[in-house]
A and B are shown apart, each in its own frame.
Chain A
Amino acid sequence: MKSPVLASGIVVAVPPVFEMPAEARDWIALLKPRVLTLVVFTAAIGMLVAPGHVNVVVAIAAMLCITMAAGAAGAINMWFDRDIDALMTRTAGRPIPAGRIKPGEALGFGVALAAASAGMMYLATNLAAAVTLVLSIAFYVFIYTMWLKRRTPQNIVIGGAAGAFPPLIGWAAVTGSITLMPLLMFAIIFFWTPPHFWALSLYACKDYARAGVPMLPVVAGAREARRQILIYTVLLLPISLLPWWLGYAGPIYGLCAAIFGLIYLATSIAILMDRQDASGISLTRDRPARIGFRVSMVYLFALFLSLGVDSIVGRLAG
């Protein structure tokens, strides 16, 4: 393309091709809306089970702040990971690697959302909730995305804490403090995260290997990943029962946690028993892992739902 010449004789440079502005849905995609669903839900349950009362407007504002913060962290993550996202089939269609949003725009969007969410959380609720919110964003961006993700197969174990913050923030928004119960909810998500992502990484192993992300199946092999999935699921079962055991939740939750936990455990055993060759490569195209990934999402949703129902029933009865 020739550079156009203005009437004054000055030659100006123009981009070689016309770039369409991004659509609204591309900006929404930057927020990782699928991840947001579980974040919002677990945060809502954190608020629901917290002792005390909060005005519905304040509750909506707090939920919005948590959603914005999680979305902001997702946008900054997509900005940082744009190089490896372009290499993986699962993520190549994201707005930045697909060229629909410029990296700088995504970063600015994420930082602005993060700052707005923290400020609004402080104004709407209290300092404890705002500080926890900032911590969750910082943990996801700096500890998980920038530090751990590309360096260690334990990335998702430690980094999983980032996704465990929402019920903690929800609780802090209502009470202004953090006690044992929100820490138990944190622990449940913390121990749920590794088997959830390792199930995904079992069937997306080639993608992660191509991008150089040291997920457990890439570094230690599929067989070890299946073993670790089972270990974490076994650990998760008693941890999920702790709220009932310690008296923070009633029998409805206790019963649901036991049943759901056993179902999830059976899924993990199926992953371990998957037909595989000598090197551990699945002969079923990782069918149990694909099922396990979906079951893990339903499991967490159902577990927190039962916690919420138990809390409502407890309040109505008590």
Chain B
Amino acid sequence: MSARSNAPLLLAVLATFYNPIASAEPFTPASGAQVLERLPARFDPVQRELSRLRADLAANPADLGRATAMARRYIEQARRDGDPRYLGYAQAALTPWWSQARSAAPAEVLVLRATLAQSTHDFGAALADLDEVLRRDSASAQAWLTRATIQQVTGDYPGARASCARLLGRAPDLVLQTCLASVGSVSGQARASYRNLQRTLAARPDAAAPLRAWAATLLAEMAERLGEYGAAETHYVAALRADPEDSYLQAAYADFLLERGRAPEVARLLAARTANDALLLRYAIALQATQSPQAAQQRAALRARFEAARRRGDTVHRREEARFALELAGDPREAVRLAKLNWAVQKEPADLRILAEAATASGDAGAARLVRDWLRDSRIEDRTLDALLGAPAA
């Protein structure tokens, strides 16, 4: 596949042309046949489906069923391609209801609105929309699940556990167990959660492949935090076999390999996936660790992407940006500043890890206290953190 060899070259070209204030000279292409941009072709089946839905909605813009189907389809596409433009298109499809008061908006719109709010880290608004949905219909599995997710991301573990529990009898058993294990594994029940999920997954060999891949990823992360690296690798490999394209999984596996000092494998794994910022970050870290001559180029490309996000006022990339500052830009003070801002918003294990690393590197006492307090209060178990903080294993 030529993308593999072209990606670094393309990035080098982008890095050369890019200038945040756009003082670089724009140009007139030398030839009319020169291809300036590659987009999905119109005959691509996905694009055909989207344009059919779009035309259908354009003819009936006030049709709630069509609008929510369109929005749902766009959100799914955003997840598949990792392309946030589709989230904007989803919002556009919901225009007639988007600004409606919470009490007046249809439940389907509220769930979608919450999903979109979550994607821009507006967790408060998302939870308020979901609570309204659940007030009207306490049996909405999707609302409970989305609520559990947001509660876990923001560190509200009792709330997340309670929301998961409401899935009993309303969602497949594996979904319920995964929801519970996900919360339990970071709140004092790491080993029991691991065993439960392993057992449930083994008892459901007929579950859909993406669901199995996801459970395997979760098991891999749990095993890694428990310090069982052999088991973690087995789970990662199994998950990758089931879903080789998933970018979350690739990032988690890359972090696992980097932590174990296996940077060359990361460079090979991610060389063709650098359109994704999170994966480019891991790729650049791996190149730096192997002292590759391309490391500087990739660092510049990443810096340009963060700068572009900063100009538009985005703050959803702070976790990645903190890691960039710490590991690639050699700026621990900036890293700890970003890690603390990020920690104020989200509290997943990866957020705790970058906060702890930045605290150690910068000697920031406030950040170190945040980490110690969270370790004590949440009872999360993570061997990597124990090693980093020099604390005895729990």
- A interacts with B: no
